[in-house]
Amino acid sequence: MGSSLTFGAIPVGGAGSGGTHGWGALDDFTNAVYYTSATWTSDIFDAVTVSSWTTFDASASENGGSISYAFRTGTSNGAVQAAAWTTITPGAIINSSVDSAKIQVQASLYSDTGLTVTPRLDDVSVSYTQGGTAANKLWLGSWKNRLWVAASSGTATTTNNIVLVKSRLPLNSFMPYGLQIGAMVRYGDAFYAAASTHSAIYRMDYGTNDNGAAIPWFWESRDELWGAPNNQKQLREMNIDFKKGTAANAYFGYSRDYGTTYYDKAVSMSGSGRGSSTKYVNGGQGFSYRFRFGSSTLDETATVTGFSAWAHHIKKRE
């Protein structure tokens, strides 16, 4: 803190009066005080419901000084007052739980060392979304005569995005894709996608990898009922025919719960020529079965020419 002092003076006596000369009284004092810092704290604002917090912004002039900002949130006024302050810069996203719909912001202003100029704060703003969340989006891209679809199904810490790719003929069906991506773009002779879990851009479908990562390929069947939807069935045998390649770590398996859990069996499809594999299993009882085969190892490829499965019908006693 600094200060300066100015005043006006009233003279006493005068020339030729025989009296004394000097300053008999002082009047009109002005004492200016300059603070090196100041803090402004807002009232607690109740957003009522929040689907997602977005950006924080401020209109201010630092004037050679500086301004720092912070916020805190809570489910009640008391929770806000008990919460620690989190620093933030204008234009940044407010990182807070959507359950904490009450928010308070603070600005700390600091003057320059000479106390000749001071910063000025005009206004601050917080943005948020109510109702639908901006995270629920759908992205589509077309590449090599195939359609790529990515749909948000959660946050980066839960299920994140579901990605589907339209397979080539003769299958011509939508297949799940393992890499978590969002926005996609075709630029020249390359296909790119933005990661949906972190800050990265992938070059997609480039040779046998995606930006150096393995392309997990697999085929998944429909739910097989064998023409008997009301009977329980017990899986006994699975057969796969293929043209050999480099897929030494391939697998094929089955699911009794609509693809939620798979029981995979390892099979090597490496080498040359034609090959086949038969797996005898005790698949347990189920109303339907779903099958898949594929590989998740980098640079492994193979051509599957056929797949079949056999189940035993179990007729319930009437």
**Type and span of the H or E element at 77:** helix 77-82
Query: 296 with 278: CB under 8 angstroms?
Result: no
**Distance, C-alpha 239 to centroid of its chain:** 41
- The label of the residue with tokens 């940044």 reads 92
| CATH match of 37-129 with 3.30.70 | no
From the list 147, 144, 138, the residue with the least C-alpha distance to 177 is: 147
Residues 30-78: tens digit of each pLDDT = 666 677 889 999 999 999 988 889 899 999 999 888 999 999 999 999 9
CB-count burial class (<10 Å; 0-12, 13-18, 19+) for 115: middle
Say yes or no: do domains 37-129 and 219-314 share a fold: yes
Query: 143 with 131: CB under 8 angstroms?
Result: no
Could you tell me the pTM of the whole model? 0.43
304 vs 162, higher pLDDT: 304
Residue-level pLDDT at 233: 87
Beta-carbon contacts of residue 188 (< 8 Å; ≥ 6 apart): none
Domain extents in the chain: 2-34, 37-129, 138-214, 219-314
| CATH match of 219-314 with 2.60.120.260 | yes
Residues 234-292: tens digit of each pLDDT = 899 999 999 998 989 999 999 998 888 899 999 999 999 999 999 999 888 888 899 99
Query: 314 with 280: CB under 8 angstroms?
Result: no
Q: Which two tokens stand for residue 77?
A: 């006024």
Residues 198-215: tens digit of each pLDDT = 778 888 887 767 667 777
Burial annotation 32-56 (CB, 10 A radius, 16+ → b, else e): eeeeeeeeeeeebeebeebebbeeb
| Single-letter amino acid, residue 22 | G
Beta-carbon contacts of residue 141 (< 8 Å; ≥ 6 apart): 147, 148, 184, 185, 186, 191, 193
Query: 107 with 58: CB under 8 angstroms?
Result: yes
Residue-level pLDDT at 12: 53
In this structure, the chain runs to a length of 318
Residues 13-27: tens digit of each pLDDT = 555 555 555 555 556
